[in-house]
Amino acid sequence: MAVTPQQLNQFLNQHFSIGELQTLCFELDIPYEDLEGGEARSAKALALVKYAQRHGVYDTLVTHAQAQRPNARLGDTAVVPTHIDRVIESGAKGSEVTVSTEVYGKGNRWAVLVGVNKYDDWHNYSKLQVCVQDVVATRDALIASGYDPQRIRLITDEGPEEPGRANIITALKAVADATEPDDSLLFYYSGHGAEFNKESYLVARDGRKLTLSDTAVAISRVKEIITAAPARAKIIILDACHSGADIGKGSEPMSPEFVRRVFAEAEGLVILSSCTQGQLSYEWPTEKKSVFTHYLLEAMSGTADRDKKGFVTMQDASRHVVNGVKLWAANHNTSQTPTLQSQVAGDIILADYQESAL
């Protein structure tokens, strides 16, 4: 089955970052700097498809893009009309067709939010300052954007449910099982992350470095529970590998293995992580939030909705968060780059900010 320009544009938008699009161009000897349009990923993806059509390398681009994302099904996804439309040039010169992206998560919205500031194993996991505040602020933003408070589980040091390993896993499993196909399911974690014996972990309050596999929450287990949920819109947001109270000290940066296992076998999920390998996730004491969560909340308020749709999708949020965090890092002489991995056919609604105006 031939891959249409619409499908290829959608595929590049969903599965490739700006940097990865640049790499694609380099490997195919396409001059990235000659691509017309704006600097946003959507503009570059569209320009790349047009360039490939004009210069006879369209099939090569399709083959190469598919090889880079073997777990994603390029060409099998129907383009379902919604009220989010993009215009892309078709194969016939001068003609245009409308490309629409299916949006998931229009049913009930469920969330499990976990924030851990204090750790029993304080010798190995330093006390953090803003993780609980991150989670509470995120809860408030979700409610303002249309989430039912009764469908949000808040698990923090200061709440009735302490963020121990058993509580986190049990709450996530209970909420996941309650979802329906049209629903969305969000799991958000703010705290320390760790890596041990070829597995990545979220450190629970009772997590201990000596027995990490028995006391921390394996990311593979989180993905297993969420993948099995009936909901078709599934989001994982990880603000892990925190720097701690002393910026840049006290914790190990996010390792390559941690990153690889977070994003491995993520089909059907959208995963947004606060930083990439070799980096820390920084706290912003004056804002009483982490830098990542500050820009995430800003995105959810509607700032990230450049198309004025009335709601913010994960793609919208990712673009805003990446730009904001990278700018903050540059101004503070450090590096932090959030990373998005999307393995879904369309996009997922994160927040309907019009609800907060009602």
pLDDT per residue over 96-136, tens digit each? 333 334 566 678 999 999 999 999 999 998 898 889 999 99
pLDDT band at 191 (very low <50, low <70, confident <90, very high): very high
The average confidence (pLDDT) of the chain is 80
Among 65-69, 108-112, 150-154, 252-256, the least confident range: 252-256
Confidence at residue 288, expressed as pLDDT on a 0 to 100 scale: 87
Say what percent of the chain tops pLDDT 70.
79
Residue 114 pairs in a beta bridge with: 155, 189
pLDDT band at 53 (very low <50, low <70, confident <90, very high): confident
Residue 111 pairs in a beta bridge with: 152, 186
Q: Which residue carries 């379902």 as its tokens?
A: 80
Using the predicted structure, report yes or no on whether residue 169 has a pLDDT greater than 80.
Answer: yes
Confidence at residue 26, expressed as pLDDT on a 0 to 100 scale: 82
pLDDT band at 295 (very low <50, low <70, confident <90, very high): very high
Residue 167's CB: how many other CB atoms inside 10 A? 17
Average pLDDT over residues 80-84: 31
Better-scored residue on pLDDT, 169 or 54: 169
Better-scored residue on pLDDT, 5 or 71: 5
pLDDT tens string 194-203: 888 878 899 9
Query: Contacts for 252-258 with beta carbons within 8 Å, 24 or more apart?
Result: 252/194, 253/277, 253/278, 253/279, 253/280, 254/193, 254/278, 254/279, 254/280, 254/281, 255/195, 257/195, 257/198, 257/200, 258/193, 258/194, 258/195, 258/200
Question: Could you tell me the residue ranges of all domains in the chain?
Answer: 5-101, 104-357
Confidence at residue 94, expressed as pLDDT on a 0 to 100 scale: 35
CATH class, 104-357 region? alpha beta
pLDDT tens string 230-285: 998 899 999 986 443 333 323 555 566 655 555 454 446 788 988 877 788 888 88
Average pLDDT over residues 23-40: 80
Confidence at residue 246, expressed as pLDDT on a 0 to 100 scale: 33
Better-scored residue on pLDDT, 35 or 77: 35
* Most confident region among 78-92, 156-170, 296-310 by mean pLDDT: 156-170
Confidence at residue 80, expressed as pLDDT on a 0 to 100 scale: 31
Q: How far apart are CA 77 and CA 200, in angstroms?
A: 31
